[in-house]
Amino acid sequence: MFFVSHLVNGLQLGSIYALVALGYTMVYGIIKLLNFAHGDFIMVGGYIALFSLSTTFFGLPPAVAVVLTIVGCMLLAVVVEKLAYRPLRNAPRISVLITAIGVSLLLQNLAQYFFGATPMNFPTHLLIPAGGITMGDVFVAYTPLITIIAALISMVILTYLVQRTKLGKAMRAVSEDTEAAQLMGINVNTIITFTFAVGAGLAGIGALLYGAGYPRIEHTLGVMLGLMAFVAAVVGGIGSIPGAMIGGFAIGLVEALVTALGFSEWRIGAVFLILIIVLMVRPTGIMGRSMMEKV
């Protein structure tokens, strides 16, 4: 039963990685930008959730806190895109990448300025009740259970959005050929804004689930989480939505497995080892396809 509990831990962590990786991969798919500020959107989401839930601050009902966190992350992403990335739309990619790193540092420093450098405690059980269910002789707490279910539901909704709706199809069109998409009458800027908003919405859900599972909110929270999710996106195949989901769960499970084997201090190293192996054996990632050169 030792094994099952580690499996659940891996899936819980993997769910969060996958949600965050989706934001990376969607933004990359549409404007070929590695949005290094994405991890920090989760940090901001974590603080929004903490302040709105915590009884020492606003003590809002969980449902309200959830909505505030998701909408807050979306707004932040839309504003960042508009102010920082859009003016650089025709600039070399490296300039935009450096800007993304700048935005990331700015968000971290603002958070440190306003909320201090001391980690704050996330009121986990105001979001997800304590306790759990027993299946056979295995006990599974509500937190991992709800995390995994919420992540899966988010993924189903996202897949529906991207595959079936007009906006989602337009996203795929812009991601494949921006110019041809413009010739269809698609407003590319609207679609880019929409993509940032959806990615950040998933980051908001990730922030809530992260807070519930690992209740320590600090201004550097997005750094490692963002990095691991980025690895997940690359392992899955950057630009591929199913790839980000698979990559996220894979990385989470690897961490859990290495921990279960008693090498918990090596778990991060193991993830990067996997990254190196994937990049050597299959540089486009699990689901990535090699881009055909356009003639």
Partner 1 sequence: MLKISDMNVYYGSIYAIKGVDFEVNEGEIVTLIGANGAGKSTILKTISGLLRSKTGSIEFDGEAIGNTASHTIVKRGLAHVPEGRRVFLQMSVQENLEMGNYTQSNKTMNQRIEQVFERFPRLLERRKQVAGTLSGGEQQMLAMGRALMSRPKLLMLDEPSMGLAPLLVEQIFDIIRELNKAGVTILLVEQNANMALNIADRGYVLETGKIVLTDSAKALQANDAVRKAYLGG
Which spans of this chain sit near partner 1 (rule: CB under 8 A)?
166, 169-170, 172-173, 176-177, 179-188, 292, 294-295
Nearer to partner 1, 143 or 175 (CB): 175
**Coil, strand, or helix at residue 219?**
coil
Q: How far is the CB of 176 from partner 1 (least distance, A)?
A: 5
Say if CB 251 and CB 231 are below 8 A apart. yes
- Rounded CA separation 219/260 (Å): 29
Task: For residue 114, give both structure tokens.
Answer: 């306003």
Nearer to partner 1, 137 or 293 (CB): 293
Nearer to partner 1, 88 or 270 (CB): 88
Instruction: Tell me the HSE value of 43 on the side-chain side, using a 13 A CA sphere.
Output: 28
Q: Report the alpha-carbon angle 291-292-294, nearest 5.
A: 120
Q: How far is the CB of 156 from partner 1 (least distance, A)?
A: 20
- Rounded CA separation 249/18 (Å): 6
Nearer to partner 1, 188 or 223 (CB): 188
Q: How far is the CB of 282 from partner 1 (least distance, A)?
A: 19
Q: How far is the CB of 9 from partner 1 (least distance, A)?
A: 36
Nearer to partner 1, 86 or 216 (CB): 86
Say if CB 204 and CB 45 are below 8 A apart. yes
Nearer to partner 1, 42 or 170 (CB): 170
Query: What Å distances lie between residue 160 and 75, 168, 183, 288, CA to CA?
Result: 23, 8, 25, 20
Q: How far is the CB of 287 from partner 1 (least distance, A)?
A: 12
Rounded to 10 deg, the angle between the 2-31 and 142-164 helix axes is: 30
- Rounded CA separation 45/23 (Å): 14
**Coil, strand, or helix at residue 145?**
helix
Q: How far is the CB of 177 from partner 1 (least distance, A)?
A: 6
